[in-house]
């Protein structure tokens, strides 16, 4: 398994507390819960799991 990217996340304490409770309900760590939520949001937005569609040019083709 490839090593995961590490980064520092600054987050509102109330948001962290809510994530911590949610993670406990799902038997996940807070880190795993954040990764799960982000992955689901990216899938819903069509931005995860496949290449981005080509950007359309603003110029008209002659």
Helix count and strand count (H, E) for the chain: 2, 0
Measured distance CA(60)–CA(22) in Å, rounded: 49
Measured distance CA(26)–CA(19) in Å, rounded: 10
pLDDT tens track of the chain, all 62 residues? 789 999 999 999 999 999 999 999 999 999 999 999 999 999 999 998 765 566 676 665 55
Measured distance CA(42)–CA(33) in Å, rounded: 14
**What pTM, to 2 d.p., does this model score?**
0.72
CA distances from 23 to 3, 16, 61 (A): 22, 10, 51
Polymer length in residues for the chain: 62
């Amino acid at each position: 398994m490839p090593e995961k990217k590490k980064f520092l996340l600054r987050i509102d304490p109330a948001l962290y507390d809510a994530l911590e409770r949610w993670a406990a309900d799902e038997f996940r760590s807070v880190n795993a819960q954040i990764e799960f939520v982000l992955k689901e949001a990216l899938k819903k937005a069509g931005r995860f799991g496949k290449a981005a569609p080509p950007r359309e040019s603003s110029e008209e083709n002659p």
